């Protein structure tokens, strides 16, 4: 019981701190002015700032001071490589000059060149930095587990006891049943996919963290990998089902009208499956962040509309719902990694299955 009380207290403090990390530098002045003019606080800018990418890693705002880490801006313009830190832009109100090139940044974090020159942006944004951090952590964790496995002769201890059941789960309950006897060929990809999505989901739940798996560009790339591996692994039975869905049971006179309907459906289905993967992961992770931040925003809305008393009245209910949603999001972090990996293995299994 004592441990439960400590866990609840830590979670309560953790969720309260989350409100600070959702603060947007550009909307801070709007919030202050809204309070002074008795206008209802608008949570949309802060929520959208949290789930969006940025050229700096903003943590929180305290008494008008913005605490953030500048990130490298890498731009290729007309063959000229320009590298500088994002701190050169002061909240979107100034420009950066490099030779004859003048760069501007808008409130959404989009960088453009004043004269309209074409820019190739290779910057290390917040999402990219978080993804690199996740990959680094994953590398050292799995390397430590591998060393411990050899040292302990296979007896799981410490973090190995947590990671090994997940590896066996992906192997025995995801890859084997859906792919069959050729599962070992695809197991490295499936394990990489599962742990990469999982660690980014978990890191995204920390205060001040980036919403990496809630970025549709990342889920698009993961889905494209699945699309490529699935179709390059497809055997003649897989492609025969797509381009000859009716088989040889009917004459061509009856087949042609049906082909005009079925063939486009089968071809579109090749792309529909990875698109569903992309949208599912993106939508679920983004929705969870929005719900949590929206519930926290009820406190500030009550303060701007009803004063401090209203905020204290709403806070217990709001934090209780946030705590509940946070636990749900913890479950969803594992669930979405599992579903993405499961469906990927299912698509691969359908592509390589032999005709009975």
Burial annotation 5-28 (CB, 10 A radius, 16+ → b, else e): eeeeeeeeeebeebbebbbbbbbb
Model confidence band, residue 20 (pLDDT cutoffs 50, 70, 90): very low
The backbone torsions φ and ψ at residue 252, rounded to the nearest 5 degrees and listed phi first, read -65, -25
The backbone torsions φ and ψ at residue 75, rounded to the nearest 5 degrees and listed phi first, read -125, 135
* Burial of residue 186 (number of CB atoms within 10 Å: 0-12, 13-18, 19+): buried
- Residues 172 and 178: their CA atoms lie apart, in Å, by 10
Say what the pTM is: 0.82
Residue 245 predicted with pLDDT over 90: no
pLDDT in tens, 65-112: 667 788 898 999 888 898 988 888 875 557 888 888 888 888 777 888
Q: 329: which 2 tokens?
A: 């999001």
End-to-end CA distance of the chain: 57
State the average pLDDT over residues 250-266.
75
pLDDT in tens, 23-44: 333 434 444 334 444 578 888 8
- CA 134, 135, 138, 139: dihedral to nearest 10 degrees? -150
- Cβ atoms of 190 and 345 within 8 Å: the answer is yes
Q: 330: which 2 tokens?
A: 């913890």
Q: What are the residues whose beta carbons fall under 8 Å from the beta carbon of 271, sequence distance 6 or more? A: 227
Q: Residue 112, by phi and psi: left (phi above 0), alpha (psi -120 to 50) or beta?
A: beta
Residue 195 predicted with pLDDT over 90: yes
Residue 230 predicted with pLDDT over 90: yes
Tell me which residue of 266, 274, 174, 169 sits closest to 221, measured CA to CA.
274
Quote the pLDDT of residue 158: 79
Quote the pLDDT of residue 331: 93
């Amino acid at each position: 019981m004592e441990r439960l009380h400590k866990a609840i207290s830590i979670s309560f403090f953790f969720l309260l701190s989350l409100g600070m990390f959702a603060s947007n530098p550009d909307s801070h002045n709007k919030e202050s002015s809204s309070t002074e003019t008795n206008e209802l606080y608008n949570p949309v800018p802060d929520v959208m700032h949290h789930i969006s990418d940025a050229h700096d890693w903003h943590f929180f705002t305290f008494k008008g001071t913005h605490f953030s880490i500048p990130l490298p801006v890498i731009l290729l313009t007309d063959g000229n490589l320009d590298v500088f830190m994002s701190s050169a832009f002061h909240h979107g109100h100034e420009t950066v000059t490099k030779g004859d090139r003048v760069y501007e940044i808008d409130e959404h974090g989009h960088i453009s060149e004043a004269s309209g020159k074409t820019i190739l942006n290779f910057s290390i944004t917040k999402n990219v930095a978080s993804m690199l951090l996740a990959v680094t952590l994953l590398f050292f964790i799995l390397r430590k587990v591998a060393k411990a496995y050899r040292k302990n002769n296979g007896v799981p201890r410490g973090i190995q006891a947590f990671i090994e059941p997940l590896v066996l789960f992906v192997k025995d309950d995801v890859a084997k049943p859906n792919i069959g006897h050729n599962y070992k060929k695809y197991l490295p990809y499936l394990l990489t996919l599962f742990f990469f999505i999982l660690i980014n989901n978990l890191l995204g739940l920390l205060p001040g963290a980036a919403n990496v798996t809630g970025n549709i560009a990342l889920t698009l790339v993961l889905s494209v990998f699945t699309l490529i591996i699935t179709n390059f692994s497809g055997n003649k039975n897989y492609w025969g089902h797509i381009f000859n869905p009716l088989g040889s049971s009917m004459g061509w006179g009856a087949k042609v009208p049906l082909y005009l309907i079925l063939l486009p459906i089968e071809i579109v289905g090749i792309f529909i499956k990875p698109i569903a993967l992309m949208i599912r992961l993106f939508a679920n992770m983004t929705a969870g962040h929005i719900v949590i931040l929206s519930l926290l925003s009820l406190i500030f809305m009550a303060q701007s509309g009803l004063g401090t008393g209203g905020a204290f009245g709403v806070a217990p209910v709001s934090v209780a719902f946030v705590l509940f949603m946070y636990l749900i999001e913890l479950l969803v972090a594992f669930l979405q990694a599992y579903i993405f990996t499961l469906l990927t293995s299912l698509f691969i299994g359908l592509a390589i299955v032999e005709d009975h």
